[in-house]
Amino acid sequence: MINSTQLAARFRARVVEMSHAAGTAHLASSLSCMDIVAVLYHSVLRLDPLNPGWKDRDRFILSKGHAATALYAALAWKGFLTEEQLESYGRAGSLLEEHPSPKLEGVEAATGSLGHGLPCGCGIALAGHIKKEQYRTFVLMSDGECNEGSVWEASMFAAANRLGALCAFVDFNKWQATGRSREVLALDPLVDKFRAFGWEVHEIDGHDHQQILQSVQDVSPSRQKPTMVVAHTVKGKGVSFMEDDNNWHYRIPTAEEVQLAKAELGVL
């Protein structure tokens, strides 16, 4: 069976192709969070693509909805989407829009406007708490997203209600659309902030699959604190000429660049 590292490389190649074919932006945002997405879908999330509404499933919310291609690649691999559906990404009439639609199976929340995923994740986790269910809820945010006040409202809510089955990631790639996320607003010290807000906080290398896996192993309804994983990442990770270059927040790769990227990723 394919391991999560191979899977992440395959997903990366796929999203580069998708960005080129559909002419859509936010490629570097998809690449930075890809290891987290790959580990979660490969080794963590309990899901049943034949029964997408299974009540005991783990929930995953891509709160940074602009990285939709990362989610679509994972949903297709897992079997929630067909290869034909994945091919339709960005085409007129397709349900695979540039931000995840609530009409798609496997999508737990409509995201794209930042700051919505964590409050919604709190509600899902709270429902599990009320009904004494064992599922876990995972939310993946961007660092720029932490500009939104609703993230901090939700952080206080999750701690107050001891949502131990809730786990959030910050894909801390140090960039937002137009600048360094540490400079646009005073984001640092991000780890201390979430710790002060009452979360169990792990600070990890967001490209190290073992660290990603370890950071979520204790997430459980029996815990008294929600878990925040501040994952240090590189925007555009995996394609040397995109890494840490914020032009790739919006740039679309040419056919030649797609081939170069795939060669680097070892996916041909």
| Residue 230 binds to another protein (criterion: CB under 8 A) | no
**With respect to another protein, which residue has the nearer C-beta, 157 or 245?**
157
Residue the block writes with tokens 């056919």: 255
| Residue 96 binds to another protein (criterion: CB under 8 A) | no
**With respect to another protein, which residue has the nearer C-beta, 39 or 124?**
124
* Cβ(116)–Cβ(63) below 8 Å: yes
| Residue 67 binds to another protein (criterion: CB under 8 A) | no
Candidates 1-9, 74-82, 155-163, 260-268: pick the segment binding another protein (CB under 8 A): 155-163
Terminal C-alpha separation, the chain: 19
| Residue 131 binds to another protein (criterion: CB under 8 A) | yes
| Residue 124 binds to another protein (criterion: CB under 8 A) | yes
E-strand ranges in 127-261 read 137-142, 166-172, 175-176, 179-180, 200-205, 227-232
> Taking Cα atoms as reference points, which of 118, 157, 163, 158 lies closest to residue 141?
118
* Cβ(22)–Cβ(92) below 8 Å: no
| Residue 191 binds to another protein (criterion: CB under 8 A) | no
Rule CB under 8 A: choose which of 43, 85, 161, 259 binds another protein: 161
Candidates 16-24, 120-128, 226-234, 249-257: pick the segment binding another protein (CB under 8 A): 120-128
Q: Phi and psi at residue 7, in whole multiples of 5°? A: -65, -45
Rule CB under 8 A: choose which of 12, 66, 116, 237 binds another protein: 116
| Residue 268 binds to another protein (criterion: CB under 8 A) | no
Cβ at position 211, least distance to another protein in Å: 28
| Residue 46 binds to another protein (criterion: CB under 8 A) | no
Report CA-CA distances (Å) from 57 to 43, 69, 138, 139, 170: 14, 22, 11, 14, 22
Under rule CB under 8 A, how many of the chain's residues touch another protein?
30
| Residue 130 binds to another protein (criterion: CB under 8 A) | yes
| Residue 180 binds to another protein (criterion: CB under 8 A) | no
* Cβ(46)–Cβ(124) below 8 Å: no
Cβ at position 18, least distance to another protein in Å: 23
Candidates 3-11, 109-117, 180-188, 220-228: pick the segment binding another protein (CB under 8 A): 109-117
Bridge partner list, 171: 142, 231
Report CA-CA distances (Å) from 215 to 47, 81, 227, 257: 20, 28, 8, 34
Report CA-CA distances (Å) from 143 to 72, 172, 188, 224: 21, 5, 10, 25
Rule CB under 8 A: choose which of 46, 55, 91, 180 binds another protein: 55
* Cβ(268)–Cβ(242) below 8 Å: no
Residues contributing to the site for another protein (CB under 8 A): 55, 102, 108-110, 112-113, 115-116, 118-128, 130-131, 149-150, 153-154, 156-157, 160-161
